[in-house]
Structure 1
Amino acid sequence: MTEIATARRSRITPEREAELYDAVLDLLREVGYDALTMDAIATRTRSSKATLYRQWGGKAELVVRAIRHSKPDAANDIDTGSLRGDLHAVIKLEDDCTHEQNSALMRGVAMAMHNNPDLREALRALLIDPELSDFHQMIQRAIARGEVSADCPALEFMLHMLVGGFATRMLLDDQPPTQDFLISYLDAVVLPALGVDPRA
C-alpha cells in the first residue's frame, strides 16, 4: 500500500463524509472486505471512483477510516481517577448493540487483514496505534497514582487480555460481548493480573 494519506485536501462536507462512512460499513457487513469493491462503494454512495481514490487512496484506508469514524472519540478524554473507573468508562462508551455490531465487523476485518498487507498497514496506522497510545496514557496515570507497579509483568499483556475477552466471547460462548460481560471480565481477569483490587 502506498503511504497512508494524511494531507489530502477534503472537498467533502463532514455530513457527507459521515453518510459515506455509514454506507461503507453497511456494505462491509453485507459482503465482507474481500468482496467489497470501490465500484460498489461508488454506486452505493452516489460518488465517482475518482473522488473516492482522490480522497482516500484506496479501499483499505477508506474502510479503516470508516471504522475509526464509527468509534467514539471520548476514550482519550477519560480520566475517572482510577484505572478500574477508566476501563469501565471505555466499555460503557458503546451500548450492547454497538458492541455486537463491532465485534462481528472486526472479526471479518481481522480475517481479511492476513491476506491484505495494505489493510494491515491502514489498521495499524489509523486505528491500532492511536488506541494503543490512549491506553498507554491510561496506564501511565495508574502507575503515577500507585495503582499499578511499573514492573508488573502483566502490563505487557494488558491489551492482549482486553482484546482476547472481546474477540473470543462469540467463539467460546456463541454470544456477543456485552457491557456486563466485559466489565465482569475486567474485574475477574485483567485488573487482578495488574495487581489492582476490583473491589477497591
Structure 2
Amino acid sequence: MAETRRRGEVLEAAIAEAVWAELAESGYAGLTVGAVAERARTSKAVLYRRWPGRAGLVMAALAHHAPTTEDVPDTGSLRGDLLVLLRAIAAGVSGRSIDALWGLLTESARDPELAALVRERLAELQRSGPVVAIFDRAVARGEVDAARVTPRLLRLAPDLLRSELLVYGAISDAAVVEIVDEVVLPLAGV
C-alpha cells in the first residue's frame, strides 16, 4: 500500500521533529536541508517552498516545541501562571536549543533578511503569545493594572530566560523564581 501524502500540520510536525533530531545529531553547523528532508521523508523542494533555508527550518522547529497559550493552565494568579510557563520553557531546553539559538544569532548577524525574520517572529510572540494571554487573564482578574502592561514588560521574562540560557547554558528553577518574583511582578505592580 502506498504511503499517504502528508500535508499541513502533520507534515510540519514531521519536519519539526526531523530538524530537532538533526540538531541533536549534527548541531546547527552540521544541519542541512537535505538531511532534514531525508529524515522527514519529504523533498528538499517541499522544504524550500516553506522556508528559505536552515535558519527558517530551525525557527519553525523552535516554535513547534515552544509552549503555546493553550499549554499554560490558569492557576488563578499571575505569579502561578508565569511560573508554570517559564518552568515549561526551562524543562524543554536542551543542548540543541542552545546550539540552535547560538546558530540563529550567528547567522542573523551575517544575514539581514534572517535578522528581520527573527525579529518578526519575536514580535509576533510578543503580540499574541502565552505571556500576553497570562497578563490578559491577570488584568481581567483585577490583579494587574492594564496601564502597567507594556510591550517591554511582556517580553521581559522570555528575554531574561533567553539570556540565562545563552550566558549560563541552563535555566535553573531558582532563576525562574527570581525572574518572576524579583523582576516581573514588581514591575507589574504585584
TM-score after normalising by structure 2: 0.72
Superposition pairs for residues 66-85 of structure 1, below 5 Å?
66-75=61-70, 78-85=73-80
Q: Does 1:141 align with 2:137?
A: yes
Q: Does 1:176 align with 2:170?
A: yes
- Return the alpha-carbon distance in structure 2 between the equivalents of residues 114 and 18 of structure 1: 28
TM-superposed CA distance for 1:49, in Å, is 1.7
| Offset, 1:69 | 1.4
Q: Compare the two structures and name the one with the higher helix fraction.
A: 2
The 3 A distance-change label for structure 1 pair 158 and 66 is same
In structure 2, C-alpha distance between the alignment counterparts of 1:112 and 1:76, rounded to whole Å? 30
Please, which runs of 5 or more residues in structure 1 have no aligned partner?
1-10
Residue number in structure 1 paired with 2:158: 163
Deviation at 1:194, TM superposition (A): 1.5
Separation in structure 2 between the aligned mates of residue 38 and residue 186 of structure 1, nearest angstrom: 38
Aligned residue pairs total 181
Q: Is the 8 A contact 2:81 2:134 kept in 1?
A: yes
Change (3 A) 1:111 1:185: same
1:21-61 per-position Cα deviation (integer Å, ceiling 9, x unaligned): 2221333453426x64323433444432223224x243244
Shift of 1:87: 0.6
2:100 is equivalent to residue 105 of structure 1 = yes
Aligned 8 A contact 1:100 1:177 in 2: no
Correspondent of 1:38 among 15, 21, 33: 33
Within 1, Cα distance between the matches of 2:165 and 2:90?
A: 17
Would you say the 8 A contact 1:23–1:44 is kept in 2?
yes
What CA deviation, in whole Å up to 9, does each residue of 1:172-194 have, x standing for no partner? 5x351123321232112211121
Identical positions, percent: 31
Q: What is the alpha-carbon distance in structure 2 between the residues aligned to residue 192 and residue 70 of structure 1?
A: 30
**For residues 44 and 100 of structure 1, do their structure 2 counterparts lie closer, same or farther at Cα, with a shift above 3 Å needed?**
closer
2:180 corresponds to which of 176, 180, 186 = 186
Please report how far the alpha carbon of residue 144 of structure 1 lies from its aligned counterpart in structure 2 after TM superposition. Answer: 3.2
